[in-house]
Structure 1
Amino acid sequence: MSLINESEFKKLSQFENETCVSIFIPTERGGKEVLNEKNSKHLHSQWIETRKKLKDQGVSDEKIAKIGKPIDALIENRDFWRHQSDGLAVFSAPGFFEKYTLPVNFEPYTYISEEFYVKPLVPAMNDDGKFYILAVQLEDVKFYEATRYSITPVEIDDLTPSRLEERVGFDFKERSLQFRTQHEGGAKTQFHGHGDDQGDTKKEIKQYFRAIDDGLKDYINRENLPLVVSCQDYLFSIYKDANTYNQLVDEVVKGNPNDTDMLGLHEKALQVAEPYLSEKRHEKLKKYKELSKTENTTSAISDIIPAIYQGKVDTLFIENRAEVWGRYDHDKMKVSFSDNHNNSNTSLLNLAAKKTIEMGGDVYLVEHEFMPEKESEVNALFRF
């Protein structure tokens, strides 16, 4: 299942209504928890709690029913609950409903306001810790989107050939077996007697890999993430020669991808991908620390939010699990603060996150101990 893209994020972040409900729950991928309908029961309990809050806020029964109708339908959709990732995000308002099954470990959370709460989606939006996995064999090809903590299959049957014979013909198998046996033996490639067959076989494998590369091109270039390939070692050099993607990781996950399950594949691929992950985040953190206490950085929320609206913020670091309540007066460019969430205020960190992304900046959720300036829940690196 694909991650949320930028246009979908902006659709959510720009939506406004008198009553918008955002619900986040962690979900189980499989096992007895799924069989026991733990995920749907969790959403049901969150919706009951949310419905009570709406009632307490004076929202009419009619409006609550409009908001709740698609949520109730989702709770009863057994087929939906059989295909989950690590977290579910639900967004509902009168006349609007969206849901996202994402490889993000959400904490249970409900938010009621005039806008949707999109801050927890930030890890799914930036390139921090995300990468692709291509598991390729001559008889099969699979593709995944992954993070450090999850792996999600992506349906690509309509993009690539599912096996080599579809590209080069079904007389290939016998020559392929001979070629593979020679190359998996560990000896350097030598051609004795059957040189033409060996050369033809390699060309046909390369043709197959080029078809895969071409089919995936538009999809993977949207985010330009590291691509890790899992295949037998003798195939990887041919794949590298056929590849045109500029973020291909130079180390292969060796062996037949079918020798392990999806989680095992993820574990091996993560070991290969780890040096390439979070590179951008680390560079931005380093730059912030280098420029700390200069006019190019600030940790004052009252300065940060007006600067975001002016397009001055390059990167925003937001403390994960933190919250700051208040309002922003766009005309006066002034931030006011509140002690608690109520009908007259909003999440200033949610506002900062969605507006920064909308203005083309980067946003990272950071644990408290890794914030550049820990006395504030948000730090900004300005464009210069």
Structure 2
Amino acid sequence: MIFLKRIVFIIFFFAIAQNINAHEGHDHGQPLAVSLALDGQHHLLRVSVQNGFVIFDKAKNTVPLEFNSKLRINHQAQKIGTDGDARPKIAVANNGNIYITWTQHLPSPYTGYIWFARSTDGGKSFSKPIIVHHDQAEITHRFDAITVTASGRIYVAWVDKRDLIVAKKSGQAYDGAAIYYAVSDDHGLSFSHERKVADNSCECCRIAMIVDDQGNAVMMWRHLFEQGVRDHAIASINPEQDSYQIHRASFANWKIDACPHHGPAIAKGGDWGYHMAWFDGGENTGLFYARMDGNAWVSSPAKRFGDASKQAGHPALLSNGEDVWLAWKERSDNASQIKLAKSNDGGRSWSDPIAIAQTHDKSDYPQLLIKDSQVYLAWNTQADCLVWIKVGQ
């Protein structure tokens, strides 16, 4: 059951609370990991995985949501990543093109390929899928992320272990994996040869990626620093540059000899830089938020959010001018809740968090989307299907 508590900044709260679920039912054997986007025609676009196929469908952004017929994107069934931080991804270009990526698991443990498909007709049909990376050894290429610039350049990034393989063959030590990316400047017809952003990334945490006003990709990921510390790193990526500066983004000094399966979130701030949210374990376990100066690459003191005893984590961030929304998931008493907080001053101060939705069954992580300055929260649940809530302007 969904329940909503009083939220002073939700628009049309009562009307929305009556109709926030998608109409279609779930096949309870299918993964709950989905990705969503809004297009220029006020459609909500969705990618999910069913029976080894990436599925695309869309709904008119009205209440209640009614999704149309589903399209299979891959032509043959695959073992597709939907565990932990893995899921298919979707992005919409300014010209209306729809781009989808996903990770295919290969037979060897922890190995995979990153696939890509595009639609140039608003989702009526999709191209034959292609593998993004030119390296097609049976190694780790996983945890894909995608974003599109205003001019139409497509960035796809992923976690890659080719350098680990090379190091092992030469008897050298190598911690973690690496972050690689490729770009397409022909609307997804082809991709450049992939390039490395950084060595020693965490192996199983999602990459957060956005674009800045200059068309550069800004990536944030969990990184392996010295002595096994798994904090976060951030970098601005210009494909015309030969190398990239990596900046430390969090300083919890969490030492763990395992992958947390818990990636960060990032959103563009004003001219000053970026909003960041992440989970850290160790002595000061919890969910944190900070601002990152995009020129000096210095972050503000981290602010804790949520209840660590309820496993607060898996954040979503969205900004619109000085307004910033932060959503996350908490678990307690055999139930999961989505919490939401808002800042009206660029992340300097925040409202008290409120519980906006709850389920007693399995559920995905929250997502935040914006269209025409209207902000929405989405949450895919086993019991209630897709929860879709207007949370403000």
Taking structure 1 as the reference length, the TM-score comes to 0.28
* Higher RCO (C-alpha under 8 Å, 6+ residues apart): 1
* Larger relative strand fraction: 2
* Larger relative helix fraction: 1
Whichever of the two has the greater Rg, that structure is 1
Taking structure 2 as the reference length, the TM-score comes to 0.28
